[in-house]
Amino acid sequence: MSLKLRLARAGTKKRPVYHIVVADSRSPRDGRFIERLGYFNPLLPDDKTERLKFDIEKAKAWLAKGALPTDRVARMLDAAGLMKREQPKNPTRAIPRKQRKQMAEEAAKAAAAAKAAAAAKAQAAKEAAAS
């Protein structure tokens, strides 16, 4: 049985509140869960203490038992200092396309300049060895 620490949606239409739960990965998002660890209210500002509340000790226990957090819950656990979240696999995705294209062109120019410098250095070494 694969366990997940994940968010289950609650609240009314257009007023979401999420419960942080431990559930079997095959169960539905808002369906059966094993234990409720806390809640998350995204509508409150970041500085409010009522925005996120969960039991850190229970989360540690479930992580020790092999439960895997989803990406959003992993962010919350990382902010609490409970675990280290890995970096995204594509860090340049958030950069606008024009900037990415410009960065790629600059990298290509730098690589060409480095290649030309290496070729010139090799040529100078050949000439020095020949004389």
Q: Residue 20: pLDDT above 80?
A: yes
Beta bridge partners of 4: 23, 68
Residue 11 has pLDDT above 70, yes or no: yes
55 and 99 co-located in one domain = no
SS3 sequence of 34-83: CEEEEEECCCCCCCCCCCEEECHHHHHHHHHCCCEECHHHHHHHHHCCCC
For residues 71-86, give the mean pLDDT: 89
Residue 70 CB-density burial (10 A; 0-12 exposed, 13-18 middle, 19+ buried): middle
**Domain co-membership, 45 together with 105:** no
Higher pLDDT, 1 or 14: 14
Q: Which domain holds residue 103?
A: 91-130
**85 belongs to a structural domain:** no
With 80 as the cut, is the pLDDT of residue 110 above it?
yes
> Measured between alpha carbons, how far is 94 from 121 in angstroms, rounded to an integer?
39
Q: Is residue 86 part of a domain?
A: no
* Whether residue 62 sits in one domain with residue 24: yes
Q: Please check whether residues 8 and 69 belong to one and the same domain.
A: yes
Same domain, yes or no: 101 and 73: no
Nearest to 27 by CA among 52, 50, 6: 6
Of 1 and 81, which is predicted with more confidence? 81
Mean pLDDT of 41-68: 92
Confidence label for 1 from pLDDT (cuts 50, 70 and 90): low
Residue 36 confidence (pLDDT) above 90: yes
Does a structural domain hold residue 74?
A: yes
Q: Does residue 13 sit in the same domain as residue 58?
A: yes
Helical (H) or strand (E) element with 16: strand 15-24
Q: Is 90 exceeded by the pLDDT of residue 130?
A: no
| Closest of 64, 77, 51, 62 to residue 23, by C-alpha | 62
Is there a domain that residue 55 lies in? yes
CB 50 within 8 A of CB 41: yes
**20 shares its domain with 68:** yes
Task: Confirm whether 36 is domain-assigned.
Answer: yes
Q: What does pTM read for this prediction?
A: 0.66
Asked if residue 74 and residue 101 are part of one domain, the reply reads no
CATH number at residue 53: 3.30.1320.10
Mean pLDDT of 67-74: 92
Report the domain count for the chain.
2
Residue 27 has pLDDT above 80, yes or no: yes
Enter the DSSP assignment of 92. G
Residue 47 counted as domain residue? yes
**117 and 63 share one domain:** no
Those residues with Cβ within 8 angstroms of residue 7's Cβ, 6 or more apart along the chain or in another chain? 18, 19, 20, 21, 29, 40, 70, 72, 73
